[in-house]
Amino acid sequence: MVVRAFFCFCLWLLGGVSGVYTDETEMISVMEGDSVTLNTDVTEILRDDLIVWTFRLNSSDTVIAEIYKLIISIYDNKENNERFRDRLQIDEQTGSLTITNINRLHSGHYKVLIKNEDVKQRSFNISVCGILTVPVIIRDTLQNSSSSSGSSRCSLLCSAVNVGHVTLSWYKGNSLLSSISVSDLSISLSLPLEVEYQDKNTYSCVLNNPIRNQTKHLDNISQLCQPNSESNQTSFIVVSLLLLLLLLFTVVVVLIFCRRRKYTQAKQKAQSNEEEVDYTDATFIKHRAPDTEADGRDQTVYSEVALR
Ligand SMILES: *[C@@H]1O[C@H](CO)[C@@H](O)[C@H](O)[C@H]1NC(C)=O
Ligand SMILES: *[C@@H]1O[C@H](CO)[C@@H](O)[C@H](O)[C@H]1NC(C)=O
């Protein structure tokens, strides 16, 4: 099969010399996960007709499918064509190619060679568009903090994930205000908008690719602009107060606990002292100190206090 594909490919190259070619490339955008059909515009394939489909990889065309002698061959298991595994279908009537469950790896240049009475070629450029997420509108706090606090204007920011081939735009009613598009997929898209607090216009932020769009309407400007920051401040104050109260409470509890402990300890000490006094039998042993005999006075030395 590979040998025949190569043979067909050579035929195609030969055909290039004498064939009728359309230089036009059909541009096709497909959503990731969708299917796409590339048409040959042939109504019926005859026994001796040859149809070869190729995909351009690293500037060389590799055969992915062909029909010859009414036999369909699909090359989706070769090393280079792994990306097409179980995704290719050929219409046996027309030779049209359908790619199912498409992903970014399938973006690129496709060609079909049709050899019947004459030789024709058609080209297709498929660009696969990523799934769009709904853009998010937030208050641009960086802008707002730098502007004067008495200002009646409010800075907003619309952001979206960059999935490729997308444009992010601000609309006022139906008219386009601004738009941005970034080719680097690692950079997410964001677009500012400055509005008045009391603005009654309808604004919307739209993320679109060549196929679809996702729209986020700016519903309530005053809600987004004003109370948010106030409630933020309020909640900050409330949280701070609560923390302070908790700290105070802890300090008071610790103090009380320490005092109680001290008090109990003192009390216990006092009690044990009393006990000593109450229950101690002291035995006093009288000594007569021999060196003080001369004094004639009795000196009593109390010693050896034995506690029971
Ligand atoms: C087809 O797409 C490739 C990239 O996928 C691009 O380089 C090429 O210029 C496109 N061809 C046309 C005719 O637009
Ligand atoms: C978004 O898509 C809808 C159809 O899905 C279309 O009616 C509308 O005009 C589009 N909006 C923009 C701004 O492209």
The residue extents of the domains of the chain are 14-129, 136-227
Strands 167-172 and 119-129: unpaired
Q: pTM for the full model?
A: 0.59
Of 25, 109, 126, 128, the residue with max ligand 1 atoms within 8 A of its CB, to mutate for a pocket test, comes to 109
Which tens digit of pLDDT belongs to each residue from 178-209?
A: 999 998 888 899 999 998 888 888 999 999 99
Q: Which CATH class is domain 14-129?
A: mainly beta
Domain 14-129 and domain 136-227, same fold? Reply is: yes
Nearest residue (by CA) to ligand 2, atom 11, is: 213
Measured at the alpha carbon of residue 167, what is the angle toward residues 185 and 174, in degrees to the nearest 5? 165
Mutate to test the pocket of ligand 2, among 166, 213, 215, 216 (most ligand atoms within 8 A of CB): 213
pLDDT digits (tens, 9 = 90+) for 113-137: 999 999 999 999 999 999 999 999 9
Hey, what CATH topology would domain 136-227 get?
Answer: Immunoglobulin-like (2.60.40)
pLDDT digits (tens, 9 = 90+) for 60-109: 899 999 999 999 999 988 777 889 999 999 999 999 999 999 998 999 99
273 phi and psi, to 5 degrees?
Answer: -65, -45
User: Across all residues in the chain, what is the average pLDDT?
Assistant: 81
pLDDT band per the 50, 70, 90 thresholds, residue 151: low
Closest CA to 116 of 11, 14, 63, 45: 45
- Flag whether pLDDT at 297 surpasses 70: no
pLDDT for the residue 82: 87
Residues whose beta carbon lies within 6 Å of some atom of ligand 2: 206, 208, 213
The token pair that represents 171 in the structure block? 């609309």
Give the model's pLDDT for residue 148: 52
Q: How far apart are CA 76 and CA 69, in angstroms?
A: 20
Task: Sort 64 into a burial class: Cβ within 10 Å, 0-12 / 13-18 / 19+.
Answer: buried
Separation of CA 126 and ligand 1 centre (Å): 9
Asked if pLDDT for residue 23 goes beyond 50, the answer is yes
Q: State the average pLDDT over residues 159-172.
A: 94
